[in-house]
Amino acid sequence: MAVEEKPASGVRFGRLNVVRHLINFGVNPAALAYAMTTLGSAMINNIFSFYYVKLFLNKYKISEGAFHQSQVVYMVWNAVNDPLFGYLQDNSRVPCCSQRRLSILYGAPLYSLAFLIAWFPWRSYAPGDWLSGLHLMVALCAFDGMLTFVLLAQCALFAEISGHHQSRLRLIKYSQVASLISSTSVLFCGVISRNMEDFTAFQAFTVLIAILSCGCMLYTGLHSESRFDNKGSESDMQGCIDQTCQQTDSSFSMLRTLTWQILTNRDFQLFVLMNFCQVFMLAFFNNFTMIFAEHLIPPDVLPSLAKSIMYGAGFMCPQLLVLSCQNLLHGLGYYRIILFAFYLEAGMAAIMLALGPQHYYILAFFLTVNMVFIQATFSLFGLPLADIIDTDLQKYKRSSPLSSMVFGTNALFTKPAQSLAPMIVLSILNQFGYEQLKEAGTDSDPRYRYFLASS
């Protein structure tokens, strides 16, 4: 028995040494471990969401029909896998699923590999090639599946590392610093690949980012801890469903009961409605900002390097904004700040509509600032969801929170917006002749300015 305990003791001793060193430097070990997954995942998520639409439309020349088919499959998988993985992580007896740290540890390498699928064509695609549609479908589903598995575990950690509001604000602060660092991946990718014009350099950069991302997430898997890591699976499943289910009930019955308890929470319902709109806007700007900028802003007004800096600022400034608003978060609370951001976004849209898109510099400012506010606001959404998890824990007197299930059920209704946004926007663009315009390169069309102003 002593021989078998040595490795675990050695790992524990190594963790303690790391913790001591971090504390000596004034770093919170739990927050750092949590933020490393943010650093790794954001590096690849930003690049994937920003480039994949342009890659498949402009370089792989996927047909509109194949693009829509892939997005529909992705939308279904994207919505279904979150509650399924959430239920699995909250109720599984297998350590790699039930322990948040191990879910991240084992999921990180597969997550990084799935990120690379999109950037390497399976053959030289002809315009409208059916294989490019299959390629997009596999790339989206594989990437989202591993993203869900890893980030659901991290979302659960957010609620489970500590129940104190100040501790959660510290997690957000560390996470925003990590997001700020990771957001430079879009900037450097644009500069090195000349906004994907040098595709070989782009591919090499994505491989490097995948390796760095995997290393960051592995750090979380090795050093993060949850307050509920030592829970007993059998007793927890009974505690979670309280007196509504017995020990002999089927897994499907438990899933139905737990999901219903979450769905009947009015705060959760209102949050999901707001979150759906925010996810839609986030996907809209992430997927089409580069396309709009290239076709609406002439290169003699904003050259390629300036546009790369503009894209990078759209990913870097949200984190700076959240970090600079820490005192406001303490004083006003997240609710008022999120509400004010919504009013500001609506006001800017009205002003841009009145001015029209012929003012190139104002248009560039509008695109960048909108990306900043939408992403900054979205980064605060973990706070209300964590409060909903705490309320659910107290209301049903659970022995441990349904963190993954709450985040997963939220994703069931909000993730479809990630597919609906590119599908709807691409359909509207093609009605205005986008198929012909993209073949013409960077020539501007006033009809696109009208569409952008109207959107």
DSSP per position, 347-362: HHHHHHHHH-TT-HHH
452 token code pair: 């952008």
* 37/297 Cα distance (integer angstroms): 36
In the prediction, which pLDDT does 319 show?
Answer: 82
Element (H, E) at 105: helix 100-116
Q: List all residues 6 or more positions away from 3 whose beta carbon is below 8 Å from its beta carbon.
A: none
Q: Which is nearest to 143 in space by CA: 115, 119, 105, 122?
A: 115
Q: Where are the beta strands (DSSP E) in 259-357?
A: none
- Is the pTM higher than 0.85? no
Dihedral pair phi/psi, residue 315, rounded to 5°: -100, -25
The reported pLDDT for the residue numbered 250 is 54
pLDDT by 10s per residue, the chain, length 455: 344 444 445 545 555 555 555 555 567 888 899 999 999 999 999 999 999 998 999 899 999 899 999 999 999 998 888 888 888 887 777 877 878 889 999 999 999 999 999 999 999 999 889 999 999 999 999 999 999 999 988 988 887 887 777 788 888 889 888 988 998 898 899 899 988 989 999 999 999 999 999 999 999 999 887 776 655 444 444 444 444 444 434 567 777 888 888 899 999 999 999 999 999 999 999 888 888 888 888 888 888 888 888 988 888 888 888 888 888 888 888 888 888 888 998 999 899 888 887 888 999 999 999 999 998 888 888 888 888 988 888 888 887 788 778 888 888 898 889 889 999 988 888 887 777 666 655 444 555 454 544 55
For Cα atoms 260, 264, 270, give the angle at the middle one, nearest 5 degrees. 130
Please name the residues in contact with 288: beta carbons below 8 A apart, sequence gap of 6 or more. 53, 422, 425
The structural domains of the chain, with segments of one domain joined by +, span: 25-225, 259-435
- 213, 40 contact by CB (below 8 A): yes
pLDDT computed for residue 242 by the predictor: 46
CATH 1.20.1250.20 fits 25-225, yes or no: yes
For 259-435, CATH gives 1.20.1250
Cα gap 281→417, rounded to integer Å: 9
Please report, for residues 233, 274, 402, the alpha-carbon distance to residue 255 in angstroms, rounded to integers and kept in the order given. 15, 25, 11
What's the DSSP call for residue 61? -
CA distances from 58 to 53, 292, 294 (A): 8, 13, 12
d(C-alpha 346, C-alpha 206), whole Å: 35
**Other C-beta atoms lying within 10 Å of the C-beta of residue 405:** 28
Q: Would you state the structure tokens that stand for residue 14, as one six-digit string?
A: 């190594």
Is residue 48 within 8 Å of residue 54, measured between CB atoms?
A: no
Q: CB-side exposure of 297: number of CA atoms within 13 Å?
A: 22
Complete DSSP assignment for 4-36: HHHHHHHHHHHHHHHHHHHHHTT--HHHHHHHH
What is the C-alpha end-to-end distance of the chain, expressed in Å? 66
Residue 94 pLDDT:
81
What are the tokens at 240? 């979670």
| Strand residues in 203-252 grouped as ranges (E) | none
